[in-house]
């Protein structure tokens, strides 16, 4: 690998210092860097500046600085172009990021020497009324938008009616997103190598409503059924639109897979144990 692109949410702590650290190592070791507009201005390196939307054109990998939100933003911006993305965690949880701060130089060397693997992740595409289609690495959420009443939602799979959802909303999740919002509302953990979509209710009004897992090839349609309530649509945590009575959101598998840079350091199950304390036994005082 000869050239990497660097992108970040510049309001995050340590962004400037970490970017300068990567540039110093890269210039010393013969690895070229390209920076998005705002990041180049932040570190005063206009000579490395590339238009934010064009970063993928000049790079063989994109390094994303920040937390999971930064990774989701990079996935939406660059995933469709097939450029692998590496996340360096400057946030808190960092479930999607691969590299800790004390591993930066080692990881850059691995990139330069092509000592890494590419892991592909399923991505969804959501068609929203009066808005452009958007992609989701984690989830598509339809909810009551803060109203203190139940939302009425109908779910269809390949135009076949599945069931009504009388709940605060529902979460349509990818396997990657199964450890995000979907998990917090009681959904299952799905290994990211699988291809499936999980639909989980948010605070359902009945005990008979639980997560349903659908084949990735299916097209899921979420229809608003509330007469006097606008429902809110969020894509990977970002509000994307509203639904009036009868409006629909169609969710399907995107025509590409996101490529993530992976090193042979931690398995998926180790990440579950260390990041989420999965399966941790309680500590008893004796």
What is the spatial distance between Cα 97 and Cα 262, in angstroms, rounded to a whole number?
10
Output the six-digit token pair for 41: 């201005």
pLDDT tens per residue across span 78-110:
999 999 999 999 877 778 888 888 899 999 999
Provide the percentage of residues in the chain whose pLDDT is more than 90: 75
Q: Are 182 and 269 in contact (CB under 8 A)?
A: no
pLDDT tens per residue across span 120-164:
999 999 999 888 889 999 999 999 988 888 999 999 999 999 999
∠ at Cα 70 (65, 75), nearest 5°?
110
- Residue labelled with tokens 């000869």: 2
Q: Are 4 and 63 in contact (CB under 8 A)?
A: yes
How far does CA 45 lie from the centroid of its chain?
Answer: 29
pLDDT tens per residue across span 221-244:
999 998 888 999 999 999 999 999
Q: Are 122 and 218 in contact (CB under 8 A)?
A: no
Output the six-digit token pair for 192: 């990211």
For 67, the 3-state DSSP assignment is coil
Provide the percentage of residues in the chain whose pLDDT is more than 70: 100
- Residue labelled with tokens 């592909």: 120
The pTM (predicted TM-score) of the whole model is 0.91
Q: pLDDT band for 286, please (50, 70, 90 cuts).
A: low
pLDDT tens per residue across span 30-48:
999 999 999 999 999 999 9
In the chain, where do the E strands start and end? 3-8, 32-35, 61-66, 85-89, 117-127, 134-136, 139-143, 151-157, 160-167, 169-173, 196-202, 212-215, 220-224, 231-235, 238-243, 248-262
- Kindly name the residue from 37, 47, 54, 68 that is annotated as catalytic: 68
236 or 275, greater pLDDT? 236
The answer to whether residue 11 is catalytic is no
**H or E stretch including 107?**
helix 104-112
Domains, in order of start, for the chain: 3-116+263-276 (3.40.50.10330), 123-255 (2.60.200.30)
């Amino acid at each position: 690998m000869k050239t990497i692109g660097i992108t970040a949410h510049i309001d995050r702590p340590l962004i400037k210092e970490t970017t300068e650290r990567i540039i110093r190592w890269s210039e010393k070791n013969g690895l070229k860097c390209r920076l998005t507009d705002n990041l180049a201005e932040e570190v005063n390196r206009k000579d490395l500046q590339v238009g934010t939307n064009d970063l993928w054109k000049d790079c063989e990998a994109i390094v994303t600085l920040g937390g999971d939100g930064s990774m989701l933003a990079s996935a939406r911006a660059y995933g469709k172009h097939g450029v692998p993305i590496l996340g360096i965690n400057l946030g808190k949880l960092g479930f999607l990021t691969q590299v800790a701060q004390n591993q930066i130089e080692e990881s850059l060397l691995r990139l330069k020497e092509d000592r890494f693997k590419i892991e592909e992740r399923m991505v969804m595409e959501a068609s929203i009324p009066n808005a452009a289609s958007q992609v989701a690495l984690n989830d598509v959420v339809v909810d009551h938008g803060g109203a203190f009443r139940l939302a009425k939602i109908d779910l269809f799979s390949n135009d076949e009616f599945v069931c009504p959802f009388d709940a605060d909303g529902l979460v349509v999740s990818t396997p990657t997103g199964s450890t995000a919002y979907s998990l917090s509302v009681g959904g299952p953990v799905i290994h990211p190598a699988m291809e499936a979509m999980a639909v989980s209710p948010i605070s359902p009004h009945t005990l008979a409503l639980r997560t349903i897992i659908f084949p990735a090839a299916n097209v899921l349609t979420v229809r608003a059924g509330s007469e006097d309530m606008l429902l809110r649509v969020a894509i990977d945590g970002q509000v994307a639109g509203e639904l009036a009575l009868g409006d629909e959101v169609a969710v399907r598998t995107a025509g590409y897979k996101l490529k993530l840079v992976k090193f042979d350091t931690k398995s998926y199950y180790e990440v579950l144990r260390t990041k989420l304390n999965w399966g941790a036994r309680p500590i008893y005082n004796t």
